[in-house]
Structure 1
């Protein structure tokens, strides 16, 4: 598929189904794109679709099946949009650091692909606002899903969740306690004490 050059072509891209409940259109919204009038369109839609399917099927669908609807805060970014966000100081890393992450259709420096989305889980947000430690969700994901990266943020307890061909299993947080929680660690049943009362993993229909 060519990068869309018309409204009709962009609509067709948006209709591509990435998983049971997610479509490509769900991941193209960008405040940076809207504010600065720069289209957030993949240069290589086929790669974006291929990697986005892994993200949705392996990570987002199980999250949603388990906890109910999840909200997408930020997902796919074109290299142009991401570079602009980095230049303007809008909490976007460099294009190099976002390749195989928010930039779904560009490989990382090792030639590997990935995809990332920033999400909010309303079910957990209610508990977080009532005092539940953010690490409860971090450890739940760590023990149940084949993620590559998790990054937690204070507002809404939003977190980046990334799929990658070679998962690194890194958890980092900007919420206290800040810093790297885990790096390359295998699932550990001892972490379950953090998320007692959480629902069991559901894969969905």
Structure 2
């Protein structure tokens, strides 16, 4: 598939169904692109579709099936969009928080493989039903541990507002969990003693809240 360069082509691309509930169009909106008048479309649509499909089928669909509707906050970024976001962040502009393009290949930049040739995709999401039920300090960890025990994520990064978090799928996953909200820092990583085994004691009770 060629890069969409017309309304018709972009409409058709947006209609690509990545999974039972999600379409490509769900992941294309970018605040940076909207404000700066940039087209947030992939250079390699086929790779973006392949990576996005794995993200949706293996992570987003089972998460939504268990905890209700998922809201997409930020997902696919073109190299141009992400590069501008990174440049603005370096310049100290408020509201921009993009890592360098190279760090986001096979992450938010779905249509470029990482330095090792692997594909991946990241989306920043909110689970509104979880936020409505669990707002105490540190409650985000319940959802983090549930995902860690049940889904093949390639990294989770949590934020304070609505417990929004980045969730990643990757061909060679490094299953870390970290947070910008309290308690800040790394919750688990392969090198940590709490990484392996069941963490049911940490997430026990959240499933019952969604019966």
1:32–1:81: 8 Å Cα contact kept in structure 2?
yes
1:116 aligns with 2:122: yes
Report the alpha carbon displacement of residue 132 of structure 1 after superposing the two structures with TM. 5.7
Q: If the length of structure 1 is used for normalisation, what is the TM-score?
A: 0.93
Q: Give a deviation string over 1:76-127, Cα, whole Å, max 9, x none.
A: 0000000011111201111011100000011111111100000000111113
Q: CA RMSD in A?
A: 1.3
1:198 aligns with 2:179: no
Mean Cα deviation higher: 127-136 or 30-39: 127-136
Determine helix, strand or coil for the equivalent of 2:131: helix
Uncovered stretches (5+) of structure 2, i.e. residues with no partner: 90-95
**Counterpart for residue 108 of structure 2:** 102
* C-alpha separation in 1, matches of 2:182 and 2:137: 12
* C-alpha separation in 2, matches of 1:121 and 1:132: 16
Structure 1 ranges of 4+ moved more than 4 A: none
**Counterpart for residue 53 of structure 1:** 53
Uncovered stretches (5+) of structure 1, i.e. residues with no partner: 201-205
1:91 aligns with 2:97: yes
Match of 2:170 among 141, 158, 164: 164
**Counterpart for residue 20 of structure 1:** 20
1:128–1:157: 8 Å Cα contact kept in structure 2?
no
1:78 aligns with 2:78: yes
* C-alpha separation in 1, matches of 2:172 and 2:19: 21
2:3–2:43: 8 Å Cα contact kept in structure 1?
yes
* C-alpha separation in 2, matches of 1:105 and 1:131: 36
Q: Equivalences for 1:125-140 in 2 at 5 Å?
A: 125-131=131-137, 133-140=139-146
Determine helix, strand or coil for the equivalent of 1:72: strand
Report the alpha carbon displacement of residue 15 of structure 1 after superposing the two structures with TM. 0.2
Count of matched residue pairs: 199
* C-alpha separation in 2, matches of 1:130 and 1:165: 34
**Counterpart for residue 66 of structure 1:** 66
Report the alpha carbon displacement of residue 187 of structure 1 after superposing the two structures with TM. 4.6
2:113–2:119: 8 Å Cα contact kept in structure 1?
yes
